[in-house]
Amino acid sequence: MHGGRAKQVDARRLQRVALYEAQQKAAPVEPELSEMSADETLIAVLRDVRTTLQHLRVEMAVNASPTLLSLLGEWLDRADRISRSVIITRAEERVAAQRVRVTEEQVDTLATAMHAGVTASDLSARQRVEVLEAVLEAFAACRAGGLPLVSGEEIQRWLARTRAEAAVDPVLELEAI
């Protein structure tokens, strides 16, 4: 029994300490609470490995040592293996395709809700057509990047202002002559 004083044991301990110190200098990482797919997890692991590599490179620039050089080599190998896995499994493509599907579903839900709201309103047929055409034009402009995205909170604030304006300045309804 070597008593834990073998050269390779000391070297690994120094590597763990160096890695710990490099990670402590980094900004704290907040844990992700959402459940991720295997592809998303693989991409997140690659991102974490790249972050660790960056920290090790900074530490190496400031405090070069054989231990850090060895540790950097191991993390470069790890990054290479994970990068190949991401490429071979086409994880990024599948995650992007999933995001497109989710976005399309959200747009469909929003369009359905808007259509239901407009058709259930007291608007005339001409006004309904105008509102729906304006909504479709706005959707097209958003897809083309021509309109800034507005949050639900911003829409709520706009609605409150519009209601206040409507209460102060009611529109006179003309009856048929």
Quick check: 149 pLDDT over 80?
no
For residues 148 and 82, the model is more confident at: 82
Q: φ, ψ for residue 73 (rounded to 5)?
A: -60, -45
- The residue-averaged pLDDT of 31-40 equals 74
Return the C-alpha torsion angle 33, 37, 43, 47, nearest 10.
Answer: 10
Closest of 86, 60, 90, 89 to residue 74, by C-alpha: 60
50-92: pLDDT as tens digits: 988 888 888 888 888 888 888 888 888 999 998 998 899 898 8
| For the chain, domain boundaries | 7-89, 93-146
φ and ψ of 131, to 5 deg: -65, -50
Q: Residue 173: pLDDT above 60?
A: no
pLDDT band at 176 (very low <50, low <70, confident <90, very high): very low
In the DSSP assignment, the letter for residue 90 is: T
Alpha helices in 26-124 (DSSP H): 38-62, 66-89, 91-119
pLDDT above 90: percentage of residues in the chain: 2
- DSSP states of 98-157: HHHHHHHHHHHHHHHHHHHHHHTSS--HHHHHHHHHHHHHHHHHHHTT-S----HHHHHH
| Poorest-pLDDT segment among 26-40, 57-71, 138-152 | 26-40
Distance CA 58, CA 65 (A): 12
